[in-house]
Amino acid sequence: MTDPLASTVLLDPGSPRDPSRAAETKLLGAVQARLDHPTVVRTARGMSLFGEHAGGWLALGLLGAAVDRKRRRSWLGATAGVAAAHGASIAVKRVIRRPRPDDPSVAVLAGTPSRLSFPSSHASSTTAAAVLFGALLGRRLTPLLVPPMLLSRLVLGVHFPTDVLAGSALGAAVGTVVKRRLEQR
Establish if 19 belongs to a structural domain: no
**Rounded to 5 degrees, what are φ and ψ at 99?**
-75, 155
Task: Classify residue 58: in a domain, yes or no.
Answer: yes
* DSSP secondary structure letter of residue 116: B
Q: Is the residue at 116 inside a domain? A: yes
pTM for this predicted structure: 0.86
Determine the Cα–Cα distance for residues 180 and 41; give it in Å rounded to an integer: 36
Is the CA virtual torsion 29, 33, 38, 43 positive or negative?
negative
28 and 161 Cβ atoms separated by less than 8 Å = yes
Name the nearest CA neighbour of 43 among 123, 148, 125, 113: 148
Encode pLDDT of 53-76 as tens digits: 999 999 999 999 999 999 999 999
Q: Does residue 152 lie within any of the structural domains? A: yes
Let me know if residue 24 belongs to a domain. no
Instruction: Please check whether residue 49 is in contact with residue 153, taking contact to mean a CB–CB distance below 8 angstroms.
Output: no
Q: Domain tally for the chain?
A: 1
Per-position pLDDT tens, the chain of length 185: 443 443 444 445 545 556 668 888 988 999 999 998 999 999 999 999 999 999 999 999 999 999 999 999 999 999 999 999 999 999 999 999 998 988 888 888 888 888 999 999 999 999 999 999 999 999 999 999 999 999 999 999 999 999 999 999 999 999 999 999 998 87
